[in-house]
Every structure is written in C-alpha cells, then in structure tokens.
Chain A
C-alpha cells in the first residue's frame, strides 16, 4: 500500500451537470493543492453511461478517473454510493476526498465520513495545504462572523464539502490525458433501504443568479417588503437578477433560492449592487468574485462598504429610486 502515490479525490457529481459545475471547480482546486504534497488528482464517479463525464473530468484536470458503471447505479443513491466510495477509499487510501455541497453531497459526504471513521468540514470557502502537508479547511465558524481553520490531523482521508461557485474551474483542455480505471460493481453491494419512487426534474429559470452579469442584492436595510420590490425594477432595467441576505429571505421579501451567501448561491457578476447589507461573512463569502461592487448603506463603516469599489452613503431605498430614474433617463431608446 505504501508504494501507492498519494491522491486527492474529487467525487464526480454530474446529475445537474449543466447547471452545476462544482465537480470541475473542485478538480481545479485539487490541481492547485496536489503538487504541494506530490499527489495525483482523481475523480471518482458512479452511475451508468458516464463516458461524457469521464472525458470532461479529464479535460478539466483529473489525472485518473475511477468509474463504476452499472444499471443499478443509474439513479443517485445515497446509501449505495456511500458504501461504494467507502470501499474504494479503503482499497486506495486517498489522502483527501472533496465533495460538492449539493443537496446530494451534503447528505452523502457525512455518511461516507462516518463509514470511514473520519472528520468532515462543511461548506469550506478555502482549502490550503499546511507546512505539515495537512489539508487546511477554512470555513465560516459556527455562528460567529469569523473564519475557522480546521484540520483533520489523525484520521484519513481528510474530507471537506464545498459549495458550488466557491472555486473557479480550469478551462476545458482537450490536450489533457488521464487514466481511466473501470471497476466492476461488487456483487454484495447492498440494496438502498430508501426506495426512489418518483424523480422529476424541476423547470429551470432562464437566467440564473450565479451567471448573471448584474446582481442587485438587498438586505434588511431596504426597510420593507414594499421598498424591496424596487430592486426588481432596477434589476429588470439592468438585465440582472435580484438576490438577498438571510434576514430578507426569512422575512419573506425574497424567495429562498435567491439567497446569496454561504447557505445560498455564490455569484460572480460584472457589477454587484448591494443595498442595505452589513456584510456578514456568511454573505460576503459568496460575493468576493464580483468584478465591481457598488454598496449603499447609511453606515459608512459597514463591512460591505469596505469591500466595495464604490461606497455610497445614503438611504438604500431612496438611492434605488434615484438610480432607477437616472438609468431610465440615460438608456438610449
């Protein structure tokens, strides 16, 4: 076993491939970390008819891909996949396993970690290698407006989940080569005790906030649901999407799926307009990739103002009204 090369594994979560590129983002991060511990980057995926994903993962930096293909794995299954990954990890002993924090990943990864008897850090926003070659898992700390650095010193593999959009994928490169290791399905793989009765794909929205070139984000400082509605007018004018903070979602001013932050969507717009948002780490963890930020807050010392390129000291709702007016007057018919 000791002769084996060290490895960083990335779980291949392909079910929502076109909407959700978290596996590719994790492959990029793994490529960033691997040289520091002389490891190879491997993807691991289960299912049926996986050739296209195998090719994609290689083109995005997987040096090796472990594939288990079988009819009975066609539908995602937490229990079966967890047993499979546990067994593979016991056979190949990877140093690290990274899993995308999709709904599936958030249920699957804890079970794998438990089966392997190891630790797991949820929703990491940064991953590094320490001087001792350990995986440094950086995640917003429990409840506090702080970041925690976490390690798993004595257990292997080291495991972490990462929200989609946290890291950037490396561009598709057809020149890249990788080894494909096809493994047979084990005969004694137990049936999942949870039975899938029906499975219906939800209709997609046309533009997703994750890809929108302009995002208008509102926080508690917008004052009321009625005033918050103005942000939709502004976003419409700018061809953008509206997002918001957790208090705003809790108050019912905005749908849950437009939550921006650690517990919601990560965004990377060309312009982010931020209205009445204090800038808690759980929110700003998901806005650091915005190219240009205009923040509006009546408190010039709010963290969000410090993170912005332009910090507008004003009433959020009034400024929104003025901006809508100003834009309407300037947009060439």
Chain B
C-alpha cells in the first residue's frame, strides 16, 4: 500500500527506495497511451524514471511490455527532490538521451503525493507546449488533438509537436505484463543508468539541496473530540441516537421527526 511507505525520520522525505518497485498507476496509463500511439503511427518508446536503483524494475517491466529502451536516473544526490528539481533533472536527461523526441507522456500525478506538478514544470523546462489531465489524444501529422475535463468544462485542445501531455487514469486501460511475458523477455533489455555527473548536474542544483521548498517538520495530526461512544444492537443505538440528537437531525434534514416512537402502533 502506498500509504504505508516508509519515512526517513531524519529528513522527513519519503524513502522511495524502500517502497515497492511498482509502477505508479497514472504512469501505466501514460505508457499504454504510448503503446497505442506506436501501434498506429510507429515510433520508438523510451521510458525514463528517476529513483533508487530498484526503480530499474519498472523500466524492465515497460521494456517487457514493448518499450524500446529505458533510462534510469539514480544518484544519492538526486534523492528527496521537490518537483522543481525533479523536472529540472528529467529535462536534462531527455535532452541528453533523446534530444529529437516528438512527444513526452507523463502520468498526471503520482498516487503517493498527487502534486501533479512535475509534468507542467517539465514542459516549461523543455520549452514545449504542454497539456495536463488529458483523457483522449490522437495525432494527425504533427498535430496532437486532446480532450479533457477541466473545472466542469469539456475542452478540446490542439498543439503541434514536439509537446508534452500528462495522462489521467481515465485515459485507457493499461495492460499488465503477464508473468510469461516477463519471463520470456530474454536478453538484456536496453537500459542506461545515469547519475548526476553524467548529466552534468551539480549536487547543489538537485535533490534535497537544490529544492526551493524545505520540509521543516512532519507530524501526525491528533484532532480528537470529546465524544459519545455507543454500543449495543443496531436497533438500540438507533433509538439512542434519535433520543439524544433527534432535534439536530430533524433540523438538518428539514423534516419533522416523531419524538415518541413506538415500533408497534396500537
């Protein structure tokens, strides 16, 4: 479960290295969108992730399902970064590893934080048009047409490639790699592993150090009310609830309630 991810009590950041090497749900949708595009229009799929060494697993998974190659960005200096430095790091890796890209697909958010900030910030870093929360997309020549729901508006948008799209979990049904596919994905998948130095990034500009936001403290909130505990049979508790709070309920639902209630009417 994501909500049980281990914490580093010293830095207050999530120890993603101890978290399971599982693909983030929305990223699985982004990958599925890439497969669909490849099937219809061709192209090479390069998957990129930043994380602890074991994050390589999701790249294996993606390659087994049909991605052409993977890039893992891993370096202790990259750890604990906020979205500002994460998008910076990813952008430099894209420029280095696939400078001629046509389309960058991202999951709209991670399920452990849901900031949804990395995609839009990556578009800024790469200086390309970007659209977030896309539910449908199709490509015509060099134009992408997208649909999404944004604050109660159904929007249809277009942009020319190269561009960036973040995909919601509603966009498609991601395939899951069957065990047999994973097992028969023999041969060494094409995965490059890069650290900060390979990207020419100074440690002060990435990870915890480079992040404009700093975590001061992490604590559990203990808002407790003085409350009334009710036990017994459901019927008995219901009677007690109405006896004690009938007025309040009646006021909220704007209906009169019988105060004296007898189950069997005479």
Contacts and interface: CB of A to CB of B under 8 A. Distances in A.
A12 to B, nearest CB: 14
Interface string A295-333: 000001000011111111111001101110111011110
A214 B255 CA distance: 12
Interface residues of A, number: 98
Contacts of A315: 234
Given A113-B84, A270-B251, A102 B151 contact: yes
Contacts of B257: 327, 330-332
Contacts of B121: 110-111, 113-114
Interface in B91-121: 112-118, 120-121
B156 interface: yes
Contacts of A36: none
A59 B235 CA distance: 50
Contacts of A267: none
A326 B239 contact: yes
Contact of A115 (B124, B128, B212): B124
Contacts of A310: 227-228, 230, 241, 245
B229 interface: yes
Interface string A196-235: 1111111010000000011000000000000000000000
Nearest to A197: B156
B220 A314 contact: no
Contact of A321 (B5, B19, B216, B234): B234
Interface size grouping (class) on chain B: 35 or more
B212 A319 contact: no
A262 interface: yes
B154 interface: yes
Contact of A194 (B149, B158, B212): B158
B248 interface: yes
A240 interface: yes
Interface string B228-266: 111100110111011001101101111111100101000
Given A111-B123, A142-B5, 20 more contacts: A16-B152, A103-B149, A114-B87, A142-B14, A144-B3, A147-B221, A150-B213, A151-B216, A152-B214, A193-B129, A201-B153, A202-B153, A239-B253, A240-B253, A271-B249, A288-B223, A300-B229, A311-B230, A313-B231, A323-B241
14 contacts: A107-B133, A108-B120, A111-B121, A114-B121, A120-B117, A141-B215, A144-B5, A146-B220, A193-B159, A193-B160, A194-B130, A309-B228, A315-B234, A327-B257
